[in-house]
């Protein structure tokens, strides 16, 4: 509802007149609450988001759809597993653990994607043996899905420059919102250098959105 109010008030939809909205706000909810704090039964917002952990990581790991990595499609763990037939998992895990990403831990997994009930397309490496990692959320208040995803992508590109590829004719730029991630990865800078690049925009949007918020 807050996004709808913002779009309506700012006139961001071309050739669309300002709508006369009637919004019924939720009761007894504050912004610091996750869905599991409500004690309500989980309703899938999409067929492939079966639980809160998947939804949290979706916010970052959906970037993998712009790469030649499998992001758990063809398994029961989309957005919580990722891998490929060529990933040097043990070495990658060692490098990744050194970065101490907040709120998450990683565990090696081996799997074989087998079709996808979520999309009308074949998942990456369908039917092939993949080595990869499982993302385990240890503290949902600390985890940063976007930082986790961009760090993984950057590190995999550094370790597998020949195998790692962007796919979809610039699709990653649409998913990320700009070419910043793709350019950063090409420059092979340390993964920790990227998050500060979007902090300014994050703070700017945080201030801008205040007048549209229904919940505090």
Cβ–Cβ < 8 Å for 132, 87:
yes
For the chain, list the domains and their CATH numbers.
48-212 (3.90.1150.140)
Let me know the angle formed at the C-alpha of 96 by 142 and 89, rounded to the nearest 5 degrees: 130
How many other C-beta atoms lie within 10 A of the C-beta of residue 194?
Answer: 19
Q: pLDDT 10s digit of each residue in the chain, 216 long?
A: 999 999 999 988 877 778 888 999 999 999 999 999 999 999 999 988 999 999 999 999 999 999 999 999 999 999 999 999 999 999 999 999 999 999 999 999 999 999 876 666 789 999 999 999 999 999 999 999 999 999 999 999 999 999 999 999 999 999 999 999 999 999 999 999 999 989 989 999 999 999 999 998
Token representation of residue 119: 């999309």
The H or E element containing residue 180 is helix 180-187
The phi and psi torsions of 24 (rounded to 5 degrees) equal -100, 105
Token representation of residue 162: 């020949």
Tell me how far apart the alpha carbons of residues 14 and 144 are, in angstroms, rounded to a whole number: 33
| Strand order, beta sheet including 130-137 | 81-84, 130-137, 104-111
**Burial label, 81 (beta-carbon count in 10 A; 0-12, 13-18, 19+):** buried
How many CA atoms lie less than 13 Å away from 112 in the CB half-sphere? 4
Tell me how far apart the alpha carbons of residues 131 and 22 are, in angstroms, rounded to a whole number: 50
Positive or negative, the Cα torsion across 113, 114, 115, 121? positive
Cβ–Cβ < 8 Å for 148, 135:
yes
How many other C-beta atoms lie within 10 A of the C-beta of residue 157?
Answer: 19
Tell me how far apart the alpha carbons of residues 137 and 61 are, in angstroms, rounded to a whole number: 13
């Amino acid at each position: 509802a807050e996004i709808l109010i913002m779009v309506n008030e700012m006139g961001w939809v071309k050739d669309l007149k300002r709508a006369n909205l009637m919004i019924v706000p939720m009761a007894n909810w504050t912004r610091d609450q996750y869905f599991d704090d409500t004690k309500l039964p989980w309703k899938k917002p999409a067929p492939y988001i079966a639980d809160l952990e998947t939804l949290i990581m979706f916010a970052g790991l959906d970037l993998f759809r712009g790469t030649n990595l499998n992001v758990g499609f063809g398994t029961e763990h989309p957005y919580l597993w990722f891998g490929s037939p060529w990933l040097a998992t043990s070495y990658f895990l060692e490098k990744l653990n050194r970065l101490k990403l907040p709120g998450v831990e990683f565990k090696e997994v081996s799997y074989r994607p087998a079709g996808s009930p979520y999309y009308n397309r074949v998942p990456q490496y369908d039917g092939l043996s993949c080595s990869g990692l499982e993302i385990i959320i240890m503290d949902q208040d600390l985890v940063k899905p976007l930082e986790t995803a961009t760090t993984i992508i950057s590190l995999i590109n550094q370790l597998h420059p020949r195998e790692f590829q962007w796919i979809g004719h610039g699709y990653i730029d649409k998913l990320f919102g700009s070419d910043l991630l793709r350019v950063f990865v090409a420059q092979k800078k340390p993964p920790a250098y990227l998050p500060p690049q979007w902090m300014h925009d994050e703070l700017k949007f945080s201030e801008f959105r205040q007048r549209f918020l229904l919940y505090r």
